Amino acid sequence: MRRLSQLIPLHLLTALLAAQGHAAGLEYRVEIVAPSPLDDLLRQNLGVLRWQGSDYIDQEQLQRLYEATPKEIEKLLAPQGYFNPKITASMGTERHRWLLGFKVEPGEQALVHDVELQIAGAIREEPDFGSRWAELIEVWPLPIGGYFTQSDWDAAKRRGVQALIIDRFPAASIRDSRAYIDPDKNSAELSVQYDSGPRFTFGQLQVSGLKQYSRELVERLQTFKPGEGYSQQKLLDFQTALQNTPYFSSVFLDVPIDASQPNDVPVKLELAEAPRYRTDAGVGYETDKGARTRLAFTDNNLRGRGWIGSLELKLQRREQRFDADVKLPPDVDGYRYSSSFQAKNEDVEAVRTSAQTLGVQRSRLKGLIEVTQALQYTRSAEQAEGKERQLNRALIASQAWSRSELDNPVDPRSGLALSWQLGGAAKALLSDTNFVRAWGRATWYMPVGDAGIVLLRGEAGQVVSDNSDSVPTDSLFRAGGAGSVRGYNYQSIGIKTDTGAVEGGRVLAIGSVEYQHRIVGKWRGAVFADVGAAADDWLSFKAYKGYGVGARWVSPVGPFALDAAYGAADKKVRFHFSLGIGF
């Protein structure tokens, strides 16, 4: 610290203090002049500001606070890497109260001139020691040439320990660490010596809390075997897999870490079982299909084997549907097998459909990717206004793939969600016609500053068939409504007949861009533009455009959206309501 300047004469200071007498609670103002963000740091932590307005501050105490403040500023700036600040202090009066001023010139921030990392312990005997050590050095967050701060230094040391702890060495520690600071050169030389400790291995799984479910159900989800090297990621994957089932209300894993006993460490699993039966009922409304009533019943332990059976009845103005399915627990390879039956009646855009579908499928979620293979038989009776009733049958084999990498699954601000489906039917295998169907969708969320989000969505599909009249309606494409091209009625964009009915087409393409901006609390405003259509082929494809504004509210189950959209083709404004994210 440089010697304080601009001080008022000592005899004047003494006179001013004497004039205040011994009255408690002296009034004073403090002025801090420093570059951002250091000014906020000083204002939030300086004692002379914390005592402002206190009834216990007298003349002598104010003088002591004033004299101690420059040293306090130095102590606050040092952890930020500023070791040679120039501080100019002044003390005077304004309007019958004291004025304390502190002008801070922090100088140059210290740079890291050298980093020395060392490691001892059993990790040096591991086959992958070289690659692990090289990776730790590569991702070291405080490199040579970087600015030194105490918080970054502490975080860098912790990150190094964490890189050892997560894989085979949970007892790793810092044996020694030093930061050599040269204030004259504004430099920092760092050294850390890690100790990996012994190599840990998993022992037997010890399970408690099971009553109605079998231990085999748990072991199918186990991600490690006795004798394998300790892994935090495998423990986390195991816990997540158990929590994602409907069988347990709570899952707690504990692995005792004792450096003197690193071999065959038991994994203790405490479970609390969820109720076997669950009944759900609800009502709702959406602009696409109208008012909704839903009843559902689930049994999580059919035949005492952990099979999940469910029945669901959903009644809406445009659609009535009954679903029944049975899902088996995952097998040793992580596949989940299921069977399902669905009966549905639908009346949309003057096309009445009655369909029954029986199917089997298997799916597996691995990391961020879920893959599903399915085989389903569909019998569909369809009648467009002014046409005869058409009966279509198809045995459809399909595969679906999806990847979701979002920062928040309920209210995403950044990330990408991708999905596609490929399926088809053959006339030689219980189907009325040959066809192949492909469909894909991509949704991209991008943050804009602290308050904005840009959402981009693209969707495309095509059915290859000689006779689309014999393809079940659910395998064809229509567009329009919330989640599609806004500004048009639900599924009102497709192949229009002479009687005004809208039938499904063989091609689909939709694009959408939306900007959301936070207004207040969990409310956002939105502007958007949609373009797309469904048609019989690409030659007859004609894009429909919709524009609009909307409101978003982030509810606990997902964003609530209310949109007012203008359909450019028919020059009408329509309102759309939806609940859930756009993918």
What band does 339 get if pLDDT is binned at 50, 70 and 90? very high
- pLDDT recorded at residue 334: 85
- pLDDT recorded at residue 97: 86
CB 184 within 8 A of CB 106: no
- pLDDT recorded at residue 304: 86
pLDDT digits (tens, 9 = 90+) for 43-76: 999 999 999 888 888 888 999 999 999 999 999 9
Please tell me what DSSP assigns to residue 362. Answer: E
Among 207, 221, 121, 134, smallest CA distance to 168 is for 121
**Antiparallel, parallel or unpaired: β 202-208 and 265-273:** parallel
What band does 172 get if pLDDT is binned at 50, 70 and 90? very high
CB 127 within 8 A of CB 229: no
Number of alpha carbons in the 13 Å side-chain half-sphere of residue 93: 14
CB 217 within 8 A of CB 303: no
In the predicted structure, residue 542 carries a pLDDT above the cut 60: yes
Q: What is the pTM of this model?
A: 0.73
Rg (CA), the chain: 34
- What are the φ and ψ backbone dihedral angles of 97, each rounded to 5 degrees? -140, 160
Among 504, 478, 472, smallest CA distance to 395 is for 472
What is 97-157 written as a DSSP string? EEEEEEEEE--PPPEEEEEEEEEESGGGGSTTHHHHHHHHHHT-SS-TTSBP-HHHHHHHH
- pLDDT recorded at residue 115: 94
Task: Give the domain ranges of the chain.
Answer: 10-105, 111-195, 202-273, 371-579
* CATH hierarchy code of domain 10-105: 3.10.20.310
Averaged pLDDT for residues 143-149: 92
CB 77 within 8 A of CB 108: no
Using CA of residue 498, residue 501, residue 506, residue 508, what is the dihedral sign? Answer: positive
- pLDDT recorded at residue 510: 98
Question: In this structure, which CATH number among 3.40.50.620, 3.40.50.970, 1.20.1250.20, 3.10.20.310 belongs to the domain 111-195?
Answer: 3.10.20.310
> How many angstroms separate the CA atoms of 126 and 227, rounded?
15
In the predicted structure, residue 108 carries a pLDDT above the cut 80: yes
Q: Tell me the three state secondary structure of residue 2.
A: coil
- pLDDT recorded at residue 250: 95
> How many angstroms separate the CA atoms of 28 and 48, rounded?
10
> How many angstroms separate the CA atoms of 567 and 20, rounded?
75
The answer regarding whether domain 202-273 maps to CATH 3.10.20.310 reads yes
In the predicted structure, residue 5 carries a pLDDT above the cut 50: no
> How many angstroms separate the CA atoms of 12 and 555, rounded?
63
What band does 390 get if pLDDT is binned at 50, 70 and 90? very high
Say how many C-beta atoms besides its own lie within 10 A of residue 420's C-beta. Answer: 16
CB 146 within 8 A of CB 156: no
pLDDT digits (tens, 9 = 90+) for 423-441: 999 999 999 999 999 999 9
Q: What is the average pLDDT score of the chain?
A: 91
The answer regarding whether domain 371-579 maps to CATH 3.40.50.300 reads no
CB 33 within 8 A of CB 103: yes
> How many angstroms separate the CA atoms of 434 and 423, rounded?
11
> Where does residue 13 fall: left (phi above 0), alpha (psi -120 to 50 degrees), or beta otherwise?
alpha
Give the DSSP H/E element, type plus range, for residue 243: helix 232-243
What band does 25 get if pLDDT is binned at 50, 70 and 90? low
Q: Do domains 10-105 and 371-579 have the same CATH topology?
A: no
Among 434, 456, 458, 454, smallest CA distance to 446 is for 454
SS3 content of the chain, % helix, strand, coil (to 5): 15, 50, 35
What band does 566 get if pLDDT is binned at 50, 70 and 90? very high
Give the DSSP H/E element, type plus range, for residue 342: strand 336-348
